[in-house]
Amino acid sequence: MSDTTICLPVLPHYTLVISKDTGRRIVGSLDSRTQAGNFHKQSREEVRHRASPPEKDKMSTDAIKFFFGRYGLTNGDIDKLLAAALARGGDYADLYFEYRVANSVNIEEQIVKQAAKSISQGVGVRVVIGDKTGYAYTDDIAFDAIRHAAETASHIARSGGSKQVAGVNATPTGLNLYPVAVPVSSTELSKKIELIKQGDRAARGFDRRIREVQSSINDEVKYVMIATSDGRLVGDLQPLARFGITCIADDDGNLQVGRSGGGGRVGIDFFEGESSPEQYALEAARQAIIQLEAVATPAGTMEVVLGPGWPGILLHEAVGHGLESDFNRKQTSAFCGLIGQPVASELCTVVDDGTIPDRRGSLNIDDEGEPTSRTVLIENGILRGYMSDYLNAGLTKSARTGNGRRQSYKHMPMPRMTNTFMLAGLDSKEDIIRSVKRGLYAVQFGGGQVDITSGEFAFSASEAYLIEDGKVTAPVKGATLRGNGPQALKHVTAVGNDLELDPGVGVCGKAGQNVPVGVGIPTIKISEMTVGGTQN
């Protein structure tokens, strides 16, 4: 059976809408835009310099203190628990502690529809032996409960254990990517509601045909601590927040939807500046109004220009998932065995970078305690590397890349993307569009999906236009783009100088686990792509 992944923006979703599009757009001069021109040139050392030395391990130290203080655990306890996990044998064991507080508030029709708070906590214990993993978890962070989980996970091993546990010690992580002054999670509900209402008013004021508005703020703060049988003890404090808005335009029964939003590992100040709810609201309203005039999409093979930012979901689907090391170790990826081979036009360099400050897909450490990194996946068209976690790096004798991620303590880690994007090229957007005789200009997408084994991927465009004689003309509706992973990027014939990252609302689904990710792309031209049209 082949693996299929489905990745979507997480935005408010109306049950009433007739369109299934889930689009969104970069708004104004979002931080991604201002950073985009520079961050891709940054080395990891430069990123580290953003945190002054005394503070660079603060998140790790604070998180360890949090778990030890709150639950009365000691280094000695952790060592005993890891020894229990390896008591029957095994190559490696680790403990993943998680404490998460999440809030959400939704407004529909200018009324607070729901405000919710949830707290979850637990520990996952993993025992690895060869390519097999034993996993058990408990939602009771107490020594006896964790020991019971460790004993359960240890049953993957059959023989008596001989592996010694190295005593754990707090290990430097070296990154402090999201030093948030005031987390959204500790902001008063009334303040969040006021922010949301500002967005609501802006959307309604945009055009009298905006009939319905739904918007929300979702935020969380997550403490994690990871202890490993080879002696590593690290922690992190991970804030995450997003604002999302959906507008429905109604023109005499013609109903169209627009969606926007943004966020990241940011504090409340993020939504008080350039990335305000008003900006997202105006964008969602604009999309909905434009769609009122949209014409049917012509079907067939044609030149396609992708706008910058969220259309980078194309990379995520076309190549990203196929370059996760588990699929390649199991030889189920269409990219298996292609390291050193051309898989894209030489204009394309694609990286996965978990070290960009404040981004939704960034992490100081991955969910196995490994510092994240910048991994070159494709360099000038040549496949250079895969994204790896502990297990698959070990089995394939390759380096760990800090891509071991999991949805929660209830889940085993696996190789996942962080922020995946293509580096900027030299062309201007205007020149790229001018070079197209007849084609499609797609600027916003709903979700995408890919069949890992065949490499076949598909997306739905939520905002797209015809290009006729080098000019952007009518908006079209219901456009879908299809392609094959190892082939699609070979047809990239122009790469713009306008790299943007998405606004920070993406979620990636793989094997039933959702994790926040980032994507990005400059304007690019693909010389041939299959465009499907639907008559909505």
Q: Shortest Cβ distance from residue 313 to Zn ion (Å)?
A: 8
Q: Shortest Cβ distance from residue 420 to Zn ion (Å)?
A: 9
In this structure, the dihedral spanned by the alpha carbons of residues 208, 212, 217 and 218, taken in order and rounded to 10 degrees, is: -150
Exposure b/e, 247-267, CB count within 10 A at least 16 = b: bbbebeeebbbbbbbbbbbbb
Nearer to Zn ion, 195 or 387 (CB): 387
Q: What angle do CA 329, 334, 338 make, to 5 degrees?
A: 70
User: Which token pair is 16?
Assistant: 């009433």
Pinpoint the alpha helices (H) of 12-85.
31-39, 44-48, 58-71, 75-85
Nearer to Zn ion, 313 or 467 (CB): 313
- The length of the chain in residues reads 536
Nearer to Zn ion, 206 or 457 (CB): 457
Nearer to Zn ion, 439 or 455 (CB): 455
Task: Report the site for Zn ion in 230-249 (rule: CB under 5 A).
Answer: none
Does position 414 interact with Zn ion (CB under 5 A)? The reply is no
Nearer to Zn ion, 5 or 460 (CB): 5
For residue 294, the number of C-alpha atoms closer than 13 Å in the C-beta half-sphere is 31
Phi/psi at 310 (5° precision):
-55, -30
Q: Shortest Cβ distance from residue 229 to Zn ion (Å)?
A: 30
Q: Is 275 exposed, middle or buried (0-12, 13-18, 19+ CB in 10 A)?
A: buried
Task: Report the site for Zn ion in 129-188 (rule: CB under 5 A).
Answer: none
Size of the site for Zn ion (CB under 5 A): 3
Q: Shortest Cβ distance from residue 403 to Zn ion (Å)?
A: 12
Q: Shortest Cβ distance from residue 418 to Zn ion (Å)?
A: 11
Q: Shortest Cβ distance from residue 508 to Zn ion (Å)?
A: 3
Stretch that binds Zn ion, among 195-203, 283-291, 396-404, 501-509 (CB under 5 A): 501-509
Contact with Zn ion (CB under 5 A) among 285, 508, 521, 524:
508
324 DSSP β-pair partners: 387
SS3 148: helix
Q: Report d(CA 474, CA 466) in Å as an integer.
A: 6
Stretch that binds Zn ion, among 1-9, 44-52, 166-174, 430-438 (CB under 5 A): 1-9
Stretch that binds Zn ion, among 73-81, 197-205, 385-393, 503-511 (CB under 5 A): 503-511
Nearer to Zn ion, 183 or 361 (CB): 361
Nearer to Zn ion, 8 or 127 (CB): 8
Stretch that binds Zn ion, among 70-78, 196-204, 336-344, 507-515 (CB under 5 A): 507-515
Q: Would you give the binding string for Zn ion spanning residues 350-389, x where CB under 5 A is met? A: ----------------------------------------
Q: Report d(CA 272, CA 260) in Å as an integer.
A: 16
Q: Shortest Cβ distance from residue 7 to Zn ion (Å)?
A: 3
User: Which token pair is 258?
Assistant: 């627009």
Q: Among candidates 396, 489, 485, 528, which has minimal Cα distance to 4?
A: 485
Q: Shortest Cβ distance from residue 528 to Zn ion (Å)?
A: 24
Stretch that binds Zn ion, among 173-181, 194-202, 297-305, 508-516 (CB under 5 A): 508-516
Q: Would strands 513-521 and 500-501 be described as parallel, antiparallel, or unpaired?
A: antiparallel
Q: Report d(CA 200, CA 244) in Å as an integer.
A: 11
Stretch that binds Zn ion, among 3-11, 135-143, 322-330, 483-491 (CB under 5 A): 3-11
Q: Report d(CA 448, CA 509) in Å as an integer.
A: 10
Q: Report d(CA 376, CA 421) in Å as an integer.
A: 10
Nearer to Zn ion, 279 or 403 (CB): 403
User: Which token pair is 100?
Assistant: 């998460």
Task: Report the site for Zn ion in 79-108 (rule: CB under 5 A).
Answer: none
User: Which token pair is 177?
Assistant: 């990517």
Q: Are 256 and 249 in contact (CB under 8 A)?
A: yes
Q: Would you give the binding string for Zn ion spanning residues 4-43, x where CB under 5 A is met? A: -x-x------------------------------------
Stretch that binds Zn ion, among 82-90, 295-303, 380-388, 505-513 (CB under 5 A): 505-513
User: Which token pair is 415?
Assistant: 């190789």
Q: Shortest Cβ distance from residue 518 to Zn ion (Å)?
A: 11
Stretch that binds Zn ion, among 115-123, 138-146, 251-259, 500-508 (CB under 5 A): 500-508
Where residue 484 falls (left for φ over 0; alpha for ψ -120 to 50; beta otherwise) is: beta
Phi/psi at 378 (5° precision):
-130, 130
**Residue numbers of the site for Zn ion (CB under 5 A)?**
5, 7, 508
